[in-house]
Amino acid sequence: MRGRPGTRAAIGLGSNLGDSPALLSQALQSLDAHPDIRLAQCSRLYRSAPLGPADQPDYANAAAVLHTDLSPLALLDVLQAIEQDAGRERLLRWGPRTLDLDLLLYDEQVINEPRLQVPHPEMTQRAFVLTPLAELVPDWRLPDGRCIAELAARLPQDGLQPWPLPDWPANGNRHRHDAQA
Ligand code: A4P
Ligand code: MG
């Protein structure tokens, strides 16, 4: 199952159990190590209050842009395998998790399959998704024509804050993957 070579895809990363920054960082490394995926850009790390049940820890969130030869479903398989490796258990919708990897955008495509909806149906409502993504690809337009920067600017930030850890890939050496994008 191969996609068009070098297709651009955006993903959202989230975690609120365990060493969340390390889990997100490890997930980015695992993606970049995959033979059919190249990590083109990653955002700063953010800290956000939980959406959903309130009795869970704050989340670490980030966004990344990938270039991939994988089809959307094959990419979802890789994201879910990396979630499993991080000890992810699916106990409760919107409940705490060690690692959540959402496929936000895949080129200009609209996908409505039982296992996969792209653009991610909730992404336009979530500052913890759009603010990091707008750092990377402000001009990327959703298939309906709306642009990421405009959507991000309209959302309340809901306590979303940059989390300036020195060893996060995009801190100190910000957007170090840009040169290859
Ligand atoms: N699925 C369909 N479309 C997609 C897609 N575009 N990307 C299916 C990834 N998966 C997609 O997801 C359930 C099913 O969605 C998968 O089997 C896949 O086939 P899941 O990850 O197993 O379950 P979930 O994450 O608990 O549910 P859901 O609805 O995906 O939740 P979200 O939207 O991922 O939200 N608060 C803060 N502050 N930060 C967060 O990151 N995340 C969530 C989870 C809740 N609250 C949060 C955060
Ligand atoms: Mg999810």
Q: Which atom of ligand 1 is nearest to the CA of 92?
A: 26
Q: Is 85 among the catalytic positions?
A: no
* Residue 145 belongs to domain with CATH number: 3.30.70.560
Specify burial of residue 55 (Cβ count, 10 A radius: 0-12, 13-18, 19+): exposed
Provide the residue range defining the domain that includes 67.
2-180
Number of domains within the chain = 1
User: What is the predicted pLDDT for the residue at 169?
Assistant: 86
14 Cβ inside 6 Å of ligand 1: yes
Per-residue pLDDT of 56-79, as tens digits, reads 899 999 999 999 999 999 999 999
Model confidence over 6-15: pLDDT tens digits? 899 999 999 9
Is 100 in the active site?
yes
Residue 177 has pLDDT above 60, yes or no: no
Q: Are 116 and 40 in contact (CB under 8 A)?
A: no
Res 151: pLDDT: 97
